[in-house]
């Protein structure tokens, strides 16, 4: 199993073009309160298994977190369930600082 990777620049370009992008933010609520991804669905990693039914099916999901570690865990989990997933490389740190 290989999880695809995308960069913040690629996601920002897709959003700017009006493309439907499903971002799944798996950070804790306190982190989201400080800064949030545009249009993201927020489900903390620790709640993902119980709340997986809240995710849309039939579309690709981009998993995101602070730096890419938790989102990769989420991506691997969702991949085992048959979701089409991509991990956001560098997470919030790369997104917010423009290191894309």
pLDDT in tens, 48-76: 999 999 999 989 999 999 999 999 999 99
For the chain, domain boundaries: 6-56+65-97
Active site residue 63: no
Query: Is the predicted pLDDT of residue 100 greater than 80, yes or no?
Result: no
**Do residues 27 and 66 touch, judged by C-beta distance below 8 A?**
yes
**Do residues 40 and 64 touch, judged by C-beta distance below 8 A?**
yes
User: Rounded to an integer, what distance in angstroms lies between the CA atom of residue 6 and that of residue 9?
Assistant: 8
Q: Please name the CATH architecture into which domain 6-56+65-97 falls.
A: 3-Layer(aba) Sandwich (3.40)
**Do residues 74 and 27 touch, judged by C-beta distance below 8 A?**
no
- β-bridge partners, 86: 4, 62
User: Rounded to an integer, what distance in angstroms lies between the CA atom of residue 24 and that of residue 43?
Assistant: 7
Task: Say which of 11, 61, 65, 78 is annotated catalytic.
Answer: 65
């Amino acid at each position: 199993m290989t999880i695809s990777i995308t960069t913040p620049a690629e996601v920002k370009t897709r959003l700017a073009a009006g493309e439907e992008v499903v971002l799944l933010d798996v950070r804790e609520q306190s982190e989201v309160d400080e800064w949030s991804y545009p249009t993201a669905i927020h489900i903390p990693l620790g709640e993902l298994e119980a709340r997986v039914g809240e995710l849309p099916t039939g579309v690709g999901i981009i998993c995101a977190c602070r730096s890419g570690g938790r989102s990769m865990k989420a991506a691997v989990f969702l991949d085992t369930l048959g979701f089409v997933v991509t991990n956001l490389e560098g997470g919030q740190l790369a997104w917010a600082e423009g290191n894309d």
